[in-house]
Every structure is written in structure tokens, then in C-alpha cells.
Chains A and B, each alone.
Chain A
Amino acid sequence: MIIIDGVSKSFNGFHAVKDFSLAVGPGEIFGLVGPNGAGKTTTIKMMTGLLSPDKGKILLVNHDIVSEPTKAKSVLGYVPDKAFLYEKLTLKEFMFFVSAIHNVSRSGALSRIESLFDTFGIRDMEDELIEGLSRGLRQRLVFCAALVHDPKVLLIDEPFTGLDAFGVRTLGEIMGRLSLKGVSVLLATHSLHLAEDLCHRIGFIRGGTLVSINEKEEIKGMEGGLEGLFMRLGR
């Protein structure tokens, strides 16, 4: 469950996010779309604790990200838009590290890592250094790291960057499974057709303000679908 209540953030007088409120229920996949610089990444960064909101409240499974950051982050999985990694670690070492700082037990982590590596098709390169990975393979690893501790909330910023068709399909299937398990997913993306396929609801953000929220079926009934809506609201 994600609750964002009246959140604002500005940088040197520029209002990146203004009075943003949203609730994403358990098992819901919520898509956040909008033009470049609309405030999607800033909103997600505030939800992860990378940025602190100037005002408002963000609750992840009832834990406030500002006043209870450790508890809130323990239920959170995060995939950033530009994922820089520890280049000199192997994939498995990186996963060990991420699991350990999320307090996952050794036995739990080992089976979970193996299963995630199999799902994302990177098992055969688990002992290679990250520095040798392509962009798409890195993105798959970042997904593994975001899911290793069984999060209750998943925040994904531009999830399809660098992924091939296999990766996109796998990701779609995983999001479906996570949704069935009750995980709240919020994804910010420019891939409108994928957002239309995967998300239960889609919000449109412009100038830091959430200007509309529509159900998937509602959008399908609109002229031009999500792309048409984007063109109308994005101007």
C-alpha cells in the first residue's frame, strides 16, 4: 500500500512536484506518465528516501519514509532510471551484498537469488564482474536486486530501458505475479503501450501536478487510447 499525501518539492525556487496526492492499493499496478521534466523521477526519489519532501507525507505499508526510513525501506524495492552499480563486484556478490543490507537470511537469500537469476536469464553469468555487462543485462540485475527481499512496494523508474523483448516480456509476467501476491507497484514510464497493457490505473503528471487518473478500461475507451490522452494533456 502506498499513500502519498500533499507532497511538494522544489529546487532553488523551481517547483518540481506540487501538492501531489495518490494512493496505490495492494496488488495494484499504477502507471505514472508525463512529458520530460514533469516530476516523475522526483516523485519516485522522494518515495525511496533519496530526496526528502518539502511538505506532505509518504507512507509505504503504513511506514513514513521520513520518520521511519529503515522500516519503510525494508518493504521497498526500487529500480532507478539510471542504475549505477558496483562495477568490481560479480553479479552474485552484488546480490549477496544487497540481500545482506536488506537483512535477508543466508538460506532465504541463496534460493531467492538462484530463482531470480533463472527468471531473468542471467544465471550463467553470476560469477562475472558487473563491469562487463551490457545495459540490458544490468537492468535485469537491478530488477533481481529490487526483488530479492520480497518487497511489498515496488517503485520502478523507466523499467524498460535497455531491455530486449525477452526482458520486457519477463518483466510483464513478473509484475502480474507480484500484483497477485499483493505487491503495490508504481512505475513511471514513457512506453505508453506497455503502460496501457500492464497498469490497472494510469496517472498523468505535468508540471509536478497529477492532472488526471484513469482506469485502464476508461483509457481504452478514449479516442487514441493513452497516446491520445498524452497528446491532449501533454501540451
Chain B
Amino acid sequence: MFSLFLRQKILMLRNSFTLGGLMRRLPFILLGAGLWLLLYFGTCRVLSFLRVTGTFGEILSEKLLSLVLSGVAVFLLISTVITSLSSFYLSRDIPFLRARPVETGDILKLKSFESVLLSSWTAALFTMPVFVAYGASYRAPALYYAVSSLSFLLLILIAGGMGMTAAHLLTRVFPAKRSREFLLGLGLLLFLVFYFAIKSSLPEGYASPQEFLKTFTLFKTDAPLFPGYWVTKTLLPAIKGRTPDVLYMTLLFGGSALFLFTADVAGRRLYCRNVEKIGPSRDGRGPLPERSYPRPGVAVFFKDIRVFFRDTGQWPQIFIIGALVAVYIYNFKSMPLRALMGLYPFAKEVLVIVNLFMAGLVLTAMAARFLFTSVSLEGRAFWVIRSAPLSSRRFLWSKFLYGFVPLTAIVTVLVSVTNYLLKVDGPILLLSEGTALLLSVSVCGLGAGLGAAFPKFEYENIASVAVGMAAMTFMLIALGLVTVTLSAGAWGYYTYAAKIRAGGFHTAESIPIALCLLFVLLINAAAFYLPMRAGIKKLRTMQF
């Protein structure tokens, strides 16, 4: 029975490989290949740098491997729990499988295979260049590659067994969907803790690379009970052509057998009861006060806000944005501004431009996710809007406001805080805040308009709409707009400031600067108006 299910999955996978599908995925394939090569050459470079320092360097390279494997093991564990929750409990084929004469054991086998495979392929793919780089750096024998493949497979099985057991136990207590979203948030929190822990343990402004390395050796990566450590201890002798330690190999084999067995026992005992619990449930809310009746002009806006906060599937993306903003601000805080000012008199202004560009990137990414998808978010319930006496213009403006208000708030806070950290004041402060606001209006208009012009109402997950071809086109246009706006603005400001510093600025010289500002305003107005108009037209004539 298991092989039958497996064959069906393979057929589904094979049928999904079409030329069109391949072309759609091509940018991601190229991105993945680039990342793979970057990891390989990056690791090679780091190892060649570390290993020239003799024994000290050897210790560092072992620490680095241990650190990488510890991180990968944690990632694998969280990833398996999340994937298992989806695969065992939230997958659409569960009712189909349970309604057929299929043994629970066969369903468990199929879902276990699916969970382990889906949760580990990215980790396996992107850990591979690190292993290969280590092998190349140490000129390791063929045995090393065999041992690294086997021990990594065992690590995957250990994390898989642990993750699946955790998923069954969690679903016994909490609803599967809530657990999955909680874990996504937890994963991100762990990443932030990890990031800030490393950042804060490193001294700011290293006097020398040796000082950095010395701090790095203080990291404690030895954890004998941790499977990532067992893999490190198995690999280190093999990389030097020695026989791997039997103890750690035994621990890896024994651990994987034990945790897979635990997952099987937990599955057999809990799965049927857990699945039955998932059935239709009524989620009650408090009585709705009469004053919450919306005015017609803002009904769509308030509906969207309400749905957004109730749809827990949206939350992990908010956490991701929060994490990015936190990391971004933290990095600005530790910028050696005084030293940079000594190197270049316009350093602060350059940093303001870089800051605005980074804020533009954040704005574009958020607009792709929340504004470009806002019309598509109606999904198949769009008939409610389409059959109502609601003009397309009013509908699209509601969608614009739904994204524009929070995105502008985030971008304004981001730019203001970083300006404060950079101690920016005077005209450049006003100019940067004004540019951030201008870009918020135009990028949000561009996103809402193009999202309405190219809507997609049928999807599994709304996040998939934000990575489609139309969304990518939006992002490219938005990034182009940000670049042109900032370049023109920077040129205008530089011309003005250079003349002031040189001792005089004549009124006649303000004409090209004024034209430059007019150009910036015009392209931003066009970036807002034209897509919004196209979106309204599409909504008016759309066949649904």
C-alpha cells in the first residue's frame, strides 16, 4: 500500500514538471544555484583564512563546523514539527485517505516519509556545499563524503523522529493550525535570539581580525547530548582520513532508530484521536456591538483589517518583517559613523541615501506581500464585492488604504529611528522623511493598482500570489522607481550642498534642482496614478 501511495506522489511530482512551470521557477532555481555557489566559495574562503593559523585555525574550523551543524539540527527539528503538523493533520488528502480501506499504519508511513522529505530537502541541499568545501579544503578521502552523507541522513532521521513525536503530542493539546503558526513564530524568535546573542558577544569595531577570531573561540559548541555534536565528532576523524569514532556512529544509528520508533508509537496511539478532533468546530466571538456597523465608504477597509488579524496564517510574515526591521535598526546602531565622517565629508548623506534605499527595499517587499495581494485576497468570495453596488474606484481605494496606512507607518518609523541614530538634522532630515512618504504613496499605489490589474483569486496560500510573475514585475518596477527617485534626489541635494560648501548658491542655479524635484514628483505621481487607473479599469471589466 505504501509503495502505491508513493507512486501516486511521484506521478504528481512528474506531472508538475512542465516547460511552463520550469520557466516560472527559473528565477528561483537560478537564485538557489547562486546561493549554493556562494555557500561553497564562502566556506572555502573562510576555511583558507582560518586554516593558515595552524592549530588555532584547526580549532576554529572545527568550531565553525560544529556551529553550522548545531544550527542545521535546530532548523531540522523545528522544520519537521511544522511540516508534520501540515502533513499529518492539515493536508487536504487526509479525508480521502481515511475514507478508503487503508490501514492507519500505512497512512502514518506515507505521512512520515512526506514530512521527513519535505522538511529536510532545503537543509540537505544547502548544507551540502559546506560539507563539500570542508572536503576540498582538507583534501578528504572518498570515505569522508560517504560518512558525511550517512551521518547527515541519520541526523535528518533523528530530527524527523523527534519532530513527528512533538507534532502528535502538540496536536493532542492544541489545534494543529495554531501549533504550526506558533512554531513559525518561535523559529523566528530563536533566529533573533541567536543573531543578537552572537552580535552582542562580539566587540564593536574590532581592532584586528585576530581579536574577532579570539572572541569566536569563546563560543561553546560542545554539547554531548546534542545530535549535531555527534555528527561533528563523526566527521572530524573522517575528514582527516581516520576511521570515524564508533561511539558517535552508534549514537547516531541508535538515536535515529529510537526517535523513529517513538514517533511510530506516538502516531499509532494518538493519530486517530487527534484527526477526529480536527473536524468542524465552532469558534465563537463576543457579541458584536451595534456601533461597529461600518460606514459604506470604509466597510471593505474594516473587513480587511478584521480578516487580517484573525487569519493566523498572516502572522508569521509580520514576525519576519519585525525581525528584519529589528536586525536592520540594530546594524545601523552599531555603525562607526564618526570614523566614516573622517573618511568622506558627505558620509552621513550617503548613509541617509543607503538607508532610504534599504527602507525602499523593505517597503517594496511588504507592498508585494500585502498590497499587491490585497485584491486577490478576496479569493473566491470576490462575488460578494462584484455583485454589490460598490464602485471599482471605491473598492480599490479601500485596498490602497488597507496597505498604505501600516506600511507608511513602518517606513516612517524605520527612517526616523535610523535618522536619529545617524544624528541627521536640517534639510536632509526633512528631505529624507519627505522622500520616504512620497515613495510610500507611489509604491503602495503601484502595488494596489498592479495587484488589481493582475489578480489571482484561486490559490492555496495567498503568499504564493506575492511570488508570481506579476508580483516579480511589480517588485522590479518598484525597485526601479526607488532607485530613480533616490538618484535624482541625491543629485539635487549634492549639487545644492556642494555649492553651499563652496561658499555661494545663486538663484539661477536652483532651476536644474527644481526641475529635478519636479521630475521626481512626476514619476512618482505616474507610478501611483497609471497602475491605479489600470486596476480600476480591470476591476470594472473583469469576468469572474
Chain A residues close to B by CB (< 8 Å): 45, 48-52, 69-71, 73-74, 76, 78, 80, 82-86, 88-90, 92-93, 96-103, 106, 109-110, 125-129, 131-132, 134, 145
Contact = CB atoms under 8 A, between A and B. Distances in A.
B25 interface: no
B385 interface: yes
Nearest to A96: B293
B214 to A, nearest CB: 53
A127 B288 contact: yes
B89 to A, nearest CB: 16
A101 B311 CA distance: 22
B391 A70 contact: yes
Contacts of B302: 97
Contacts, number: 115
B544 A51 contact: yes
| 10 closest cross-chain pairs (CB), A and B | A100-B299, A84-B380, A74-B389, A88-B310, A73-B389, A132-B282, A106-B293, A129-B283, A48-B387, A84-B381
B290 interface: yes
Contacts of B385: 101
B293 A110 contact: yes
A138 to B, nearest CB: 11
Given A70-B389, A102-B389, A132-B281, A90 B383 contact: no
A74 B299 CA distance: 16
Interface of B: 280-288, 290, 292-296, 299-300, 302-303, 306-307, 310-311, 379-381, 383-391, 540-541, 543-544
A187 B206 CA distance: 77
A114 B384 CA distance: 20
A96 B383 contact: no
Contacts of B286: 127
Contacts of A103: 296, 389
Contacts of A93: 288, 292, 303, 306
A49 B307 CA distance: 26
Contacts of A89: 303, 306-307, 310
A117 to B, nearest CB: 12
B390 A101 contact: yes
B299 A125 contact: no
18 contacts: A45-B544, A48-B383, A49-B386, A50-B544, A52-B543, A69-B389, A83-B383, A84-B383, A89-B306, A90-B288, A93-B303, A97-B303, A98-B388, A100-B293, A100-B296, A106-B290, A110-B290, A132-B281
Given A100-B296, A101-B389, A85 B303 contact: no
Given A51-B544, A110-B290, A128 B284 contact: yes
A98 B284 contact: no
A132 B386 CA distance: 25
Given A127-B284, A132-B281, 9 more contacts: A83-B383, A88-B311, A89-B306, A90-B285, A97-B299, A100-B293, A101-B388, A125-B282, A127-B286
B539 to A, nearest CB: 11
Contacts of A48: 383, 386-387
A60 to B, nearest CB: 11
A132 B283 CA distance: 7
A73 B387 contact: yes
A126 to B, nearest CB: 8
Nearest to A46: B543
Nearest to A131: B283
A88 B307 contact: yes
B296 A134 contact: no
Contacts of A100: 293-296, 299
A88 B306 contact: yes
A57 to B, nearest CB: 17
Contacts of B379: 84
Given A50-B543, A88-B311, A97 B387 contact: no
A86 B380 CA distance: 9
Nearest to A78: B387
Contacts of A86: 303, 307, 381, 384
Most chain-B Cβ atoms within 10 A of its Cβ — which of A49, A71, A86? A86
A11 to B, nearest CB: 9
B543 A51 contact: yes
A73 B388 contact: yes
A205 to B, nearest CB: 20
Given A70-B389, A127-B284, A80 B294 contact: no
